[in-house]
């Protein structure tokens, strides 16, 4: 049964990468966002996916820490998946450019954690593993959403004139 839990927390074993497991694991979020881009209501399904992934991660956080023998183990990448989904969720059905920009922006905030995100790491168990990346995801969302909304507004003004 450990193979199933490991497969879940590592997002299909992406987190088992010997190099940069968090970065590789984020690709699981990219795949989910890309697959959801074909749905009728991207925002709704992105939110559902983020909540489901969070709940799975929360329930398996203690197991992952015991299995790996460390707090917030590298194999656990569901936090990256949730954070990434938050970063790209409110942009509408993503393009390849949006997926790529979201990836780099989220990874930036995940690696160089803002103060609030760093505080979340102190929470025990699955919530502590996940919440710092949730915060990083919202920082990423703010960074990608502002220029995207400004660009859309500018295009609307130009087309509407």
Q: How far apart are CA 147 and CA 113, in angstroms?
A: 21
Average pLDDT of the residues of the chain: 90
What letter would DSSP give residue 113?
-
Residue 130: per-residue pLDDT: 96
The per-residue pLDDT for range 71-129, each reduced to its tens digit, is 999 999 999 999 999 999 887 778 888 899 999 999 999 999 999 999 998 898 899 99
Residue 5: per-residue pLDDT: 96
The answer, yes or no, to whether residue 152 has pLDDT greater than 60, is: no
Phi-psi region of 114 (alpha: psi -120 to 50; beta: other; left: phi over 0): beta
pLDDT band at 49 (very low <50, low <70, confident <90, very high): very high
pLDDT band at 7 (very low <50, low <70, confident <90, very high): very high
Residue 121: per-residue pLDDT: 87
Q: How far apart are CA 116 and CA 94, in angstroms?
A: 27
pLDDT band at 147 (very low <50, low <70, confident <90, very high): confident
Burial class (CB in 10 A: 0-12, 13-18, 19+), 5: middle
Residue 66: per-residue pLDDT: 95
Q: What mean pLDDT do residues 124-146 have?
A: 92
Neighbours of 3 (CB within 10 A): 8
Q: What mean pLDDT do residues 49-72 have?
A: 95
Residue 151: per-residue pLDDT: 61
Place of tokens 């299909």: 12
Residue 120: per-residue pLDDT: 92
Phi-psi region of 13 (alpha: psi -120 to 50; beta: other; left: phi over 0): left
Where are the alpha helices (H) located in the chain, listed in sequence order? 2-9, 21-36, 42-68, 78-89, 96-111, 115-120, 125-160
Q: What mean pLDDT do residues 25-51 have?
A: 95
Contact assessment for residue 55 and residue 48, using Cβ atoms and an 8 Å cutoff: no
């Amino acid at each position: 049964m450990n193979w199933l839990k490991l497969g879940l927390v590592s997002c299909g074993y992406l987190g088992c990468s010997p190099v940069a497991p968090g970065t590789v694991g984020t690709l699981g979020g990219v795949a989910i966002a890309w697959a959801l881009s074909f749905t009728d209501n991207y925002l709704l399904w992105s939110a559902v996916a983020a909540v489901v992934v969070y709940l799975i991660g929360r329930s398996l956080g203690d197991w992952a820490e015991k299995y790996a023998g460390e707090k917030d183990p590298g194999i656990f990448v569901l936090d990256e998946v949730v954070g990434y989904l938050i970063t790209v969720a409110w942009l509408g059905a993503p393009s390849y450019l949006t997926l790529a920009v979201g990836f780099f922006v989220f990874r930036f905030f995940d690696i160089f954690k803002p103060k609030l995100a760093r505080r979340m790491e102190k929470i025990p168990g699955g919530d502590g593993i996940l919440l710092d990346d949730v915060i990083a995801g919202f920082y990423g969302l703010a960074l990608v959403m502002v220029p995207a909304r400004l660009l859309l507004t500018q295009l609307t003004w130009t087309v509407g004139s």
